[in-house]
Amino acid sequence: MIADDDEPAIAAITVAELGVGVELASGRRRTNRRAFLDDVLATLQVIDYGVDVARAHTALLVAVRSAGRPRGAHDLIIAATARATNRTVVTFDRAGFADLPGVLVRASD
């Protein structure tokens, strides 16, 4: 799904989503999730929510509200991050990112 010449990154909000998974887990599962999050943070660029992302987020909020198709707040921030940085969202959640203007999506089922 990700090619050797791709430059994968994650939105800052994704760090929070993964962190919640760590904090809600216990025992070995928590240890494994913490190790995974630590590996992600050591490996991937984290893209902050800055002005460019905020502008893309504004456009996406207007688009989904105008269409009457609301989306999850975090999904829209992830999509806005991708749009603002000319990246593709790679996801298992095709529906969460479908039909967002200016957002490229590569989804796996």
In tens, the pLDDT along 56-86 reads 999 999 999 999 999 999 999 999 999 999 9
User: Does residue 100 share a domain with residue 90?
Assistant: yes
User: Does residue 37 share a domain with residue 15?
Assistant: yes
Total number of domains in the chain: 2
pLDDT single digits (tens) 5-62: 789 999 999 999 999 999 999 999 999 999 999 999 999 999 999 999 999 999 999 9
What does the block give as tokens for 89? 């969202």
Q: Which sign does the torsion angle of CA 9, 22, 31, 106 carry?
A: negative
Closest Cα partner for 57 from 75, 82, 85, 77? 77
CATH code, domain carrying 96 = 3.40.50.1010
Whether residue 41 is contained in a domain is answered as yes
